[in-house]
Amino acid sequence: MTKYKYPLTILIDVLEDELCMVCGLPQDLCVCEEIAKEEQIIRVFLEKRRYGKSYTLVTGIDPNEVDLGGLAKKLKSKLACGGTQKEGRIELQGDHRYKIKQILEDFGFPGTNIEVQL
Ligand SMILES: [Zn+2]
């Protein structure tokens, strides 16, 4: 039997938006994503595509543990570039390999877990 701190009806109401599905704490108290960030092993590399376009790819981040869409958005605004995220990886237009490690560190990912292929 699970014991709930709150009446079940209230709990269901707020569950979707306000409580973390992992630890059950309200989102503003939850540190699950912060902890998860420390466990991600990130690989960054450059991919050259047709017409001479290059993309910086960020892989290795578990989309179930870290809000990849939110991270992609923050990276794009920091680097002032376009990009997308899909299938667990972030694609950024242009070569950002020299800047991205520091930015990811600023977002809470430990530098020792970030491998940038130069
Ligand atoms: Zn949590």
CA of residue 7 to ligand 1 center, whole Å: 20
Task: Report which of 100, 116, 9, 95 is spatially closest to residue 48, judged by C-alpha positions.
Answer: 95
pTM of the model: 0.79
Supply the CATH classification number for the domain 40-116: 3.30.780.10
In the chain, where are the structural domains located?
1-30, 40-116
Q: Secondary structure of the chain: what % helix, strand, coil (to 5)?
A: 40, 25, 35
CA of residue 3 to ligand 1 center, whole Å: 18
Tell me the average confidence (pLDDT) per consecutive run of 10 residues in the chain, 118 residues long: 60 65 88 93 96 96 92 97 94 97 96 97
Backbone angles phi, psi at 89, to 5 degrees: -140, 155
CA of residue 116 to ligand 1 center, whole Å: 29
Question: Tens of pLDDT along 14-43?
Answer: 555 688 888 989 888 999 989 999 999 999
Taking the C-alpha atoms of residue 97 and residue 58, their distance in angstroms, rounded to an integer, is 10
CA of residue 65 to ligand 1 center, whole Å: 10
Compute the Cα dihedral for 61, 63, 65, 70 and give only its sign: positive
What's residue 104's pLDDT? 97
